[in-house]
Copies of this chain bind each other. A is one copy, B any other.
């Protein structure tokens, strides 16, 4: 029965993901169960809590995000990698369709996040070496840029994808060197980043 069980687990996860995409946390466990074609008890057998279920949604999301980041880092032309990275992150986020909101804070995302930031640091270093990025931009700045674009994607993906694409163009351009004025505010640190993630809008229901 391992096999059936695994299938049901996937169904539950799929149902939850669907609902999360549609309504961002505002669904009942019963809905998940019935959409997955199982009883509530089955949901609770696999996930001790509704929140645990939501957390589990984060795993494939971040795994994919990390894969995308690493693929960008593997791009043949180092000088292009930063732009490729940012655009790829946005595309994947749009394709995935998850409203990332709460998920960045899921326990499961922690190690993946770290690896993600590390990759981002490598990419930025290369872009800097190639003179393809403003000198005053730091790794976490790029993280914030991506974070901000995902917020826009979440909100506009279905209704008006043109918005985030145009905004993305602008953002990408903003990172390029040339005639920039020095940034007045100090760079974003890891601690700031943690705070950002921890404070990201909670879409869960009470």
Where the two chains meet, the residues of A that have a C-beta atom closer than 8 Å to any C-beta of B are 24, 26, 99, 101, 137, 141, 144-145, 147-149, 151-152, 154-156, 158-160, 162-163, 165-171, 173-176, 178-181, 183-188, 191-193, 195-196, 198-203, 205-206
Contact of A181 among B26, B173, B202, B206 (CB under 8 A): B173
Q: Quick one: which of B144, B160, B203 contacts A201, CB cutoff 8 A? A: B203
| A-B contacts besides A141-B166, A201-B203, 8 pairs, CB < 8 Å | A144-B167, A145-B167, A156-B192, A156-B196, A162-B188, A163-B193, A166-B187, A205-B206
CB distance from A4 to the nearest CB of B (A): 16
A164 to chain B, nearest CB (A): 9
A191's closest neighbor in chain B, by CB? B160
Least distance between A50 CB and chain B CB atoms (Å): 13
Interface pairs A-B: 4 shortest CB-CB: A174-B174, A159-B195, A166-B185, A178-B179
A24 to B102, CA, bound (A): 14
Copy tally for this chain in the complex stands at 4
A184 partner, pick from B169, B174, B188, beta carbons under 8 A: B169
Give Cα A117 to B179, complex, Å.
29
Residues of B within 8 A of A206 (CB): 26, 205
A42 CB → nearest B CB, Å: 15
A159 near B199 with CB under 8 A, answer yes
The interface residues of chain B lying within 8 Å CB-to-CB of A24 are: 201-202
- Chain B residues contacting A101 (CB-CB under 8 Å) are 201
Is the CB–CB distance between B173 and A144 below 8 Å?
no
A–B complex contacts, Cβ < 8 Å, 24 sampled: A101-B201, A144-B163, A145-B170, A148-B148, A148-B151, A148-B167, A154-B201, A156-B195, A156-B199, A160-B188, A160-B199, A162-B188, A163-B192, A163-B193, A165-B184, A166-B183, A168-B185, A169-B183, A173-B180, A173-B183, A176-B179, A176-B180, A179-B179, A205-B205
